Chains A and B, each alone.
Chain A
Amino acid sequence: MTKQIRQLDRVVIRFAGDSGDGMQLTGDRFTSETAQLGNDISTLPNFPAEIRAPAGTLPGVSSFQVHFADYDILTPGDAPNVLVAMNPAALKANLVDLPRGADVIVNTDEFTKRNLAKVGYQVSPLDDGSLDGYVVHPVALTSMTVGALAGLEVSKKDAERAKNMFALGLLSWMYSRPYESTLRFLERKFAARPELVAANVAAFRAGWNFGETTEDFSVRYEVKPAKMVAGTYRNITGNQALSLGLVAAGVRSGLPVFLGAYPITPASDILHELSKHKRFGVVTMQAEDEIAAVGAALGASYGGSLGVTTTSGPGVALKSETISLAVALELPLVVVDVQRAGPSTGMPTKTEQADLNMALFGRHGEAPVAVIAPKSPADCFHAALEAARIALTYRTPVILLSDNYVANGSEPWLLPDIDSLPDLRVQFATAPNGEDGTTFLPYLRDPATLARPWAVPGTPGLEHRIGGLEKADKTGDISYDPANHDLMVRTRAARIDTIPVPDIEVEDPDGDARVLVLGWGSTYGPIGAACRTLRQRGLAIAQAHLRHLAPMPANLGDVLRAYDRVVIPEMNLGQLAHVIRARYLIDAIGYNQVRGLPFTAAELETTLEEVVKNA
Chain B
Amino acid sequence: MPEPTALKLTAKDFKSDQEVRWCPGCGDYAILAAVQGFMPELGIPRENIVFISGIGCSSRFPYYMNTYGMHSIHGRAPAIATGLSTTRPDLSIWVVTGDGDALSIGGNHLIHALRRNVNLKILLFNNRIYGLTKGQYSPTSEIGKITKSTPVGSADAPFNPLSLALGAEATFVARTIDSDRKHLQSVLRAAAEHQGSAFVEIYQNCNIFNDGAFDQLKEPATRDDYLIRLEHRQPITFGTDGQFCVVHPPGGFGLEVRETATTPTDQIVVHDATVTDPAYAFALTRLPGPDLRNTPIGVLRSVNRPAYDTVVQEQVATAKARTDQTLEQQLARLLANGDTWTII
- Chain A residues in the interface with B (C-beta under 8 A): 32, 35-36, 38, 181, 225, 228-235, 244, 247-248, 251, 256, 258, 260, 277-281, 283, 285, 287-289, 291-292, 295-305, 307, 321-322, 325, 329, 415-416, 418-419, 430-431, 457-469, 477-478
How near does chain B come to A63, taking the closest CB pair, in angstroms?
A: 22
| CA A287 to CA B86, docked complex, whole Å | 12
| CA A420 to CA B162, docked complex, whole Å | 55
Q: Give the nearest-CB partner of B14 in chain A.
A: A463
Binds A, one of B147-155, B238-246, B295-303, B316-324: B316-324
Choose one: B18, B81, B108, B312; the contact of A289 (CB below 8 Å).
B108
Choose one: B84, B85, B338; the contact of A234 (CB below 8 Å).
B338
Contacts of A234 in B (CB 8 A): 335-341
Q: Give the nearest-CB partner of B91 in chain A.
A: A457
| CA A235 to CA B52, docked complex, whole Å | 44
Query: Is B304 interfacial (CB-CB < 8 Å)?
Result: no
Docked-complex contact B66 and A463, CB < 8 angstroms: yes
Docked-complex contact B79 and A299, CB < 8 angstroms: yes
| CA A299 to CA B88, docked complex, whole Å | 10
Contacts of B318 in A (CB 8 A): 278
Contacts of B319 in A (CB 8 A): 278-279
Known: A289-B108, A292-B109, A478-B63. A300 touches B316 (CB 8 A): no
Docked-complex contact A298 and B342, CB < 8 angstroms: no
Docked-complex contact A460 and B71, CB < 8 angstroms: no
Choose one: B71, B111, B340; the contact of A232 (CB below 8 Å).
B340
Q: Give the nearest-CB partner of B16 in chain A.
A: A465
Query: Is B200 interfacial (CB-CB < 8 Å)?
Result: no
Contacts of A260 in B (CB 8 A): 83
Q: Give the nearest-CB partner of B327 in chain A.
A: A251
Choose one: A36, A38, A416, A460; the contact of B3 (CB below 8 Å).
A460
Query: Is B104 interfacial (CB-CB < 8 Å)?
Result: no
Choose one: B3, B71, B343; the contact of A466 (CB below 8 Å).
B71
Q: Give the nearest-CB partner of A431 in chain B.
A: B2
The 4 closest A-B pairs by CB, nearest first: A467-B71, A299-B83, A296-B83, A295-B79
Docked-complex contact B88 and A233, CB < 8 angstroms: no
Docked-complex contact A229 and B341, CB < 8 angstroms: no
| CA A30 to CA B225, docked complex, whole Å | 80
Q: Which of A35, A463, A478 has the most CB of B within 10 A?
A: A463
Choose one: A251, A283, A297, A301; the contact of B316 (CB below 8 Å).
A283
Choose one: B16, B83, B316; the contact of A278 (CB below 8 Å).
B316
Known: A256-B87, A278-B316, A303-B87. A295 touches B5 (CB 8 A): no
Docked-complex contact A296 and B341, CB < 8 angstroms: no
Query: Is B221 interfacial (CB-CB < 8 Å)?
Result: no
Docked-complex contact A280 and B330, CB < 8 angstroms: yes
How near does chain A come to B178, taking the closest CB pair, in angstroms?
A: 22
Query: Is B4 interfacial (CB-CB < 8 Å)?
Result: yes
Docked-complex contact B1 and A303, CB < 8 angstroms: no
Question: 12 A–B contact pairs at CB < 8 A?
Answer: A285-B82, A287-B112, A291-B108, A292-B82, A295-B79, A303-B88, A325-B72, A329-B70, A431-B1, A458-B88, A458-B90, A467-B71
Known: A279-B320, A466-B69. A233 touches B86 (CB 8 A): no
Docked-complex contact A233 and B342, CB < 8 angstroms: yes
Docked-complex contact B312 and A283, CB < 8 angstroms: yes
Contacts of A467 in B (CB 8 A): 62-63, 69-72
Residue-wise, chain B 1-45 has the 8 Å CB interface mask toward A (1 for contact) of 111110000000000101000000000000000000000000001
Query: Is B261 interfacial (CB-CB < 8 Å)?
Result: no
| CA A418 to CA B55, docked complex, whole Å | 44
Docked-complex contact B331 and A280, CB < 8 angstroms: yes
Q: Give the nearest-CB partner of B316 in chain A.
A: A278
Known: A247-B334, A302-B70, A464-B68. A285 touches B339 (CB 8 A): no
Choose one: A232, A292, A430, A466; the contact of B336 (CB below 8 Å).
A232
Docked-complex contact B86 and A300, CB < 8 angstroms: yes
Q: Give the nearest-CB partner of A417 in chain B.
A: B332
Contacts of A464 in B (CB 8 A): 68-69
Docked-complex contact B47 and A461, CB < 8 angstroms: yes
Docked-complex contact A458 and B91, CB < 8 angstroms: yes
Contacts of B67 in A (CB 8 A): 463
A298-B83, A464-B69, A467-B63 given; 13 more Cβ-contact pairs under 8 Å: A232-B336, A233-B343, A247-B331, A248-B335, A278-B319, A291-B108, A295-B83, A303-B88, A303-B91, A418-B328, A465-B70, A466-B69, A469-B71
| CA A305 to CA B82, docked complex, whole Å | 13
Docked-complex contact B341 and A232, CB < 8 angstroms: yes
Contacts of B62 in A (CB 8 A): 465, 467
Docked-complex contact B84 and A300, CB < 8 angstroms: yes
Contacts of A465 in B (CB 8 A): 16, 18, 62-63, 65, 68-71
| CA A431 to CA B342, docked complex, whole Å | 49
| CA A232 to CA B341, docked complex, whole Å | 6
Chain B positions 99-128 with a Cβ under 8 Å from a chain A Cβ = 108-109, 111-112
How near does chain A come to B247, taking the closest CB pair, in angstroms?
A: 38
Query: Is B76 interfacial (CB-CB < 8 Å)?
Result: yes
Docked-complex contact A468 and B47, CB < 8 angstroms: no
How near does chain B come to A384, taking the closest CB pair, in angstroms?
A: 13
Contacts of B2 in A (CB 8 A): 430-431, 460-461
Docked-complex contact A457 and B83, CB < 8 angstroms: no
| CA A466 to CA B323, docked complex, whole Å | 39
Known: A303-B87, A457-B91. A233 touches B47 (CB 8 A): no
Query: Is B50 interfacial (CB-CB < 8 Å)?
Result: yes
| CA A180 to CA B79, docked complex, whole Å | 49
Contacts of A416 in B (CB 8 A): 335
Known: A431-B1, A458-B88, A467-B62. A36 touches B71 (CB 8 A): no
How near does chain A come to B45, taking the closest CB pair, in angstroms?
A: 7
Docked-complex contact A36 and B341, CB < 8 angstroms: yes
| CA A291 to CA B319, docked complex, whole Å | 29
